Structure 1
Amino acid sequence: MMKKWLAPLVAFALVASALTAFSVAAAPDRAEAASGADFDAGNIISDKNFYDAQSMSLDSIQSFLNQQVPTCRATSGPTCLKNYSMDTTTRQDSGQRCGTYPGGPGQSAARIIYNVSQVCGISPKALLVLLEKEQGIVTSSAPTAYMYRSATGFGCPDTAACDAQYYGFFNQVYGAALQFKRYAATPTSWSYQAGRTNNVFYHPNAACGTKPVYIQNQATASLYIYTPYTPNAAALNNMYGTGDSCSAYGNRNFFRLYTDWFGSTTGGTNPYGYVDAATAGFQQVAISGWAVDPDSTGAIRVDFYIDGQGVTSATADIDYPHLAPTLGASNTRHGFSKVITGVAPGAHSICAIAINVMAGGNTLLECRSFTVASGAPFGYIDQVSASPATIAVRGWAIDPDVVDPVTVRLSIDGREVVTARADVDKPSLPAVYPGWGSKHAFTLTATGIAPGAHSVCTTITNVGSGQDTRLGCSTVQIPSGSPQIYLDQASSTSPGVITLRGWALDPDTVDPVRVHVYLDGVLTTKLTADVEKASLATAFPGYGARHAFTASLTGVASGTRQVCVYAINQGPGENAGGCVNVVGPQGPPALYLDEVRATDLGQVLVRGWSVDPDTVDPVRVHVYVDGMLNTKFSADLAKESLSTAFPGYGAGHAFSTTLAGVGPGTHQICFYAINVGDGANTVACSSVRAVSGAPAILLDEASSPAVGTARLRGWTIDPDSVEALRVHVYVDGILTTKVTADVAKPSLATTYPPYGANHQFDVSVAGLRVGTHELCAFAINVGPGENRAACATVTVR
């Protein structure tokens, strides 16, 4: 079991009695004989039964204990559980998963079990079964000290000794209950989880295998975390005895004991549920919620009563995903929804009753009051907006006596100016006001309104009983005056370019306004603010969204530039605008080395990139090896990520080249990005060790130029030295001669500059018999590495 709960994500904890078939006396007078066929590995006990703290009173717990042991035979050891008592301390759970335990002197075992169940919300029945499953202490007429010391097996894994800090009856009962609350509070932190298929071991011996179990609820998941094994067929076939070597019994015994003592672990209880809403509408009420009977996973019936009279019923078979954490992801079709029509206007009460199946009785879920409206119409003004010479009002209106659209009137300064039918679709209305449909929205628009303040009132015309309803009045200002202008962006992200973004709006017109842009006091461009910007239509109702602008000023000199932007006024008012200073990108170049590594004799591969903020052109790069200039090049290769990282500069700023003439040993290689404009050169250095190891050797010729003579010609270089190497020549495996590879071969100086040309050897071996011979030239290694050979077969004439 997960008594060692400090590592919840990694270890399957083990139960002290998980492997014990059951060593205590059988329970007297079973409430129901347990059968292995009834054991559901995915639903060992329902959440309702496991967490039902009110399932037993203090007196009923004590009575139950008395019944289990009519005669206590304890003499020298501890007394039986029915007579046991101890002093307890007040305890507060720091994680607030259990309430405060009220400690006190001489508390009985029944009192401890009851108090823990109340403060932690765990069924007393579950705690009694746990005590019996772990130690057999409930039915023992002569319990041992060990039974009390580790009563619930908390802190006692199968694979280690019990933890002394959890010793004692009170500690054990409280600790186990708190642990079950921890499991429920953090369900995804443990190895076994409800609402998914879990591979549950049959036994600590992994060779016994696992069983895929869809765990349906948290209570079952918690039992598996506490005792991480499921019974195999052998254990279930002999429900009151032992199985085989791969049998574990902890969770089987929990199921068996609960069934023996209290009946079904998942059934035998009344249905339960909840009424989510009861909403009145047009001569109707809509009621919804969920209902479950613990005795069945099937949908149950829900009956509805209005004012005490049964009117209709519904089947709770609608998918209700919120039930997944408690009932399992495959057992969520328990929702109900019903619209009851023909309800007369006035105040009413509606009650929902869940109809029981199997054992138990019907459950009154809840009664709700509601009122079916009649009389004056009602509605809401969603928005009042003003634009040049125009006032618009949007909202919705319903008359409770009819489902048809009603008439809405708009008055300005006490004079009715426009009417409209509230027949525009508003999809959200049916959910709030069922029965009337969605076509009850309206828009009232009045034009030709003079600038200034106006009183605007909206009225709904009544139909049937009641009277007209004044939705509301407000003072509305028809705008006029100078335009507004705002710069969202004024920046230079690439050399010679300034980017402008913003918007401009004149209150006297809905048309786009003209915008003039000045650079350092000189008019540079004229444009129209007619680009769409959706937020403007919301911020300025009636004006629309096409009032934004963008502009790019090119050919701008580097440094700080003043940019002024003006919105050109229309009607009353004057031009509006302002100025900002924009600093173009400048400074030293950026330089980054992606790769610097030796690749061959005298060669180093270098890759990287460089960008100078003062220019979009490629940067010149100078490379120095050990302080000596080696090469120069332009960083002009394409690297697509650069165009994203440096907008406006393009991708052509990377470099990749091979440096030649790098001799043996470790070298300091420095790269200088040559600055353009403001700033200084940028340097980046890297320490590189040249290629090291065994020498290279190659045969250019293997021939027989004269009778009894063989010739070998080739070259060899050791990467660790520029000196000529020694070469040993073997004929048919016998050392024949030794030479130094110091003959000039001009091409070597070109290919391997630091090593020079003098690395060739030319050897003739005389006195050989006619026939085929194997000749091998061994280059003698210098420094790291080993000798290397080049061999050839020569036919001597």
Structure 2
Amino acid sequence: MLFTKLPTLSCPKAAQRRAISGKLIRVGGVALALGLVVVLASLVDAPSAGARVNPRTAIGSMDSATVEPGAIRVTGWASDPDTKKPINVVVAVDTSLVLRSARLPRPDLGRGALRGFDISVPVGPGQHTMCVAAMNVGKGDRFRLLGCKQFTIGNVNPIGSLDVVRLISGTTLELQGWALDPETPFPTPVHVTVDGQQKARLVAADDRSDIGQLFPALGSRHGFFGQIPLTPGTHTVCLTVQNIGAGSDQSLGCPTVSVAPIDPVGSLDGVTVGVNQIQVQGWALDPDSTASSRIAISQWDPTGVNDAIVVSAVADQQRPDVGAALNTDPRRGFSVSLPVLEAGQRTVCVTVINVGLGADRQIGCTTVNIADRRPQVQIDAVRPVPGGVQLSGWAFDQESSSSVTLTLSVDGAPRTFSATLSRPDVGAAYPGAGSNRGFNHTIGSLSNGLHQLCLTAANQGGAPGLNADRRLPCSTVVLGSPAVGTTGALTSSTPVSPDVGSSLHLIDRDGGISARLRDGTLLWLFGDSAELDAFGGFKYFVSGTAALASPSAPTVTRDALASNGEPYLAAVPDPNLVCPSNMAHKALWPLSASVVPAGTNDRVVVYLASMCLGTIGNYSYRGMAVGEFIYTPGFDYSNQPITLTMLNYSLTQSHQFGEAAHYDSASDRIYAYACDQPANPLLVGSFGPCYLSRVAPASAADPNAYQYWNGSGWVASAAAAAPLTLPPGREAGTRYPASAFTVNFDPSHGLYTMVYSPWPGFTNQATVRVSKTITGPWSEPVSIELPNCLNTVAGKAMNCYAVTAQPWLSTSTSLGLGYYDQAVSTGPTRGRYQVGSVPWSTVLNP
């Protein structure tokens, strides 16, 4: 199509015939007679029928000239006696020209005749003049004018049709139709409202060939299709075509649509607490099924982090009230007893499982409080005594005035006694409990070695709530020289983190080790430090950070912030380390820190694991590195990054010496430990053994300066190193560390402590060994239970790991420990490094 704008021309009617034979101009490469342009652009009257016309001039007919939406449409035929081929026809509307070939079939003009034309010219509202002429070929006049006509077109509103309105999938309304605005061939918006509220904006841009045939000037892309979700009930759905240009929006109709209920319905009528059970009652049904509906009942602690526990049941009990009200089978009720799992708040929700169309529907939630009716019992101390152990504490049952009966299992052999001794402090702390609630029980005739003591307090009541015997974590005693005893449970913990006013307060960091400097300041070093955003993505991830904490607030770290708002790296990884593409993140994980006096300063020698990190659980150890930090007492470290000076990125040795390390001032040596680990960490029997080396602090970065313990003395050859004496203990997996560990001298107990996470590493247990000397022999492993470390979050086990010794927290009756808890909060940043203490008794020379 040739479509172009020409300037408006005019001439007197007397010049009409002279103009017909005027000169030629070129428009788009097609020759047009200037006189024709003048005629078509300026005149309405065609030449009179009697005008002399060359008989060799093209002939034709303007059969019709009509108005359609957005266009003037002209039809007819044209031919030239000098050619059998189709000739061109030009249509002028005002100052616009359209050139087309007359090649449509016209059987009325003869068999196989291709002489017809059907031309639409887009126009807007207003008065228009249209003329059409056949262009001559060969001899004759330049053209023959076939006719002219005037049109007056008013403002044209959009038009269209809503062809299909139907429900699919029960609650989804499907809409189909077409819409166009006569002033444009472009797609037209169609707005959909439901009950007066805007719900969708469709665009009529789909191909509709039938519409294109009706309005060829506007094209065929005017169809629309949409799917609108509806809720059960009766709705008024209206479609409106948006006007473009002159005119106004036009409605395609407002059909009424009724959506039948398809989702399940029901009611949670009551949740009551009984003795060791929660009773859940209500009714449920699905309109799509005559069968009894299945329900899912979930319960969880709204103050905790664990996933809900879900049980399934069937609503098939008699509920004649429901049957009468809904005209349905009365077997729609449910009454389900859930076991009480723990005391405290429990949220209970009921969901009806959908059948057929629709979706599952939650019909109610209730939070109840589960009273703890079990006896209250506490072990204050487990003390080694000559030939045995003494267990002291208190116990009472709030539902009985009688003394609580206690059963103590010693290495599996039970014995019974009662809590009847005077404990006025218990009576004061628990009004109504009474004062004679103490116990002090001694077990004699025990051999040297490891013994396990498990205490159970017998329940005496029967009121609603959690009613059961109370079983405490098992206590451990090691008899011999030295002898130690512990209650076996860390009762509380505190997170190690920046102050609440810091932007890093929610930082999640693991692998915490501490070094107490001579002025009481704590140097903290951590493994990975991270924080997540609301969508679970990393705000930052920094491997290896450090911070100081004051003696008065040892768990509040004073972290400096980099310009990007992240914590600083404590040590820059080896620039020459090459990591594979699937573990491209280079890291230095701090493993141990030894404080060495350096005049008035403190020199902290740090051993670090050089690592290549990939996705979670995908990492590779690349060797031991050594760095140092020089601490200057009195210097203002506020907002100063704590960074290490790297001394050796690859301390190549036969074992990973430095996993644990301790400086001994008497010998002026750093003692560095190593415990072997298998390539496959699932092989619990393949861990160990452990070895010991030592080095002068000034030569810590020189692998050739180390000496090795051979069981009786120190030798220069690593090949001559002897395994340390580590008794196996009672349980597989406790003999050797599952990962990193710490060895420190604990001045509160006068012993060296070896602390680690037992196999498989992610657990709720800590393992502690003690020794009088730095070379051993080491005691049997003592197990400590860590609080709230067995969690399930989003279907994934979340436990604790990276247990370390924290001797700064120990007292004469307690042992300080640290550990990383993967699930302290509900997120998105969940983990925290925690510290706490466990009751602990030591007898060096029983």
User: Which of the five TM-score ranges fits, normalised by the shorter chain?
Assistant: under 0.3
Instruction: Give TM-score, length-normalised by structure 2.
Output: 0.24
Instruction: Give TM-score, length-normalised by structure 1.
Output: 0.26
